Amino acid sequence: MAYGDTSVVLSRKAFHVPKPVVETSEPRPVAADEPPRPWARYWARHRHPLNRALHMVGVPLLVAACMLTLVQLVQWRWDLWWRPVILLIVSYLLQWVGHRIEGNDMGEAVFIKKRLGLPYVAVAPQDRTTQP
């Protein structure tokens, strides 16, 4: 099966799967004030200032949720399970709102949709570069 083939073989029958929207290997030219690769894709997916601000709050909350989970497990505090769960939910909610504002899907959603063959928006349409 060649790369880019849109058919999937299941029990000797070919089923057509719609080709998902795929981001290009070079999402857009990187501005001078942005770090070079590997952060180029991250910056391409986080252009809107409010999305970046929500991520500046949400990502540390996610790290704090993981750290709090480890601390509570070490201390055997199962009765406080709700604290890291609340941090995790608030973290993902903030990031989800940021990506709705941006107009693209969250990284986890892109990953799952790619695997399922569903269409997804990796980079917001207004930020995509046109192919020559």
The tokens 């991520």 sit on which residue? 55
Say which amino acid occupies 31. A
One-letter amino acid for residue 75 of the chain? Q
Query: Mean pLDDT, to the nearest integer, of 30-55?
Result: 76
Least confident of 35-49, 68-82, 84-98, 113-127: 35-49
How confident is the model at residue 12, as a pLDDT?
Answer: 46
Q: Report pTM.
A: 0.63
Per-residue pLDDT at 26? 52
The domains of the chain are located at 7-127
Of 122 and 31, which is predicted with more confidence? 122
User: Where is mean pLDDT largest: 31-35, 56-60, 114-118, 122-126?
Assistant: 56-60
User: In this structure, is the dihedral angle defined by the CA atoms of residues 86, 91, 97 and 100, taken in order, positive or negative?
Assistant: negative
pLDDT recorded at residue 132:
38
Q: Among 87, 56, 91, which Cα is nearest to 69's?
A: 87
pLDDT tens-digit map of 6-31: 554 444 444 455 555 555 545 555 55
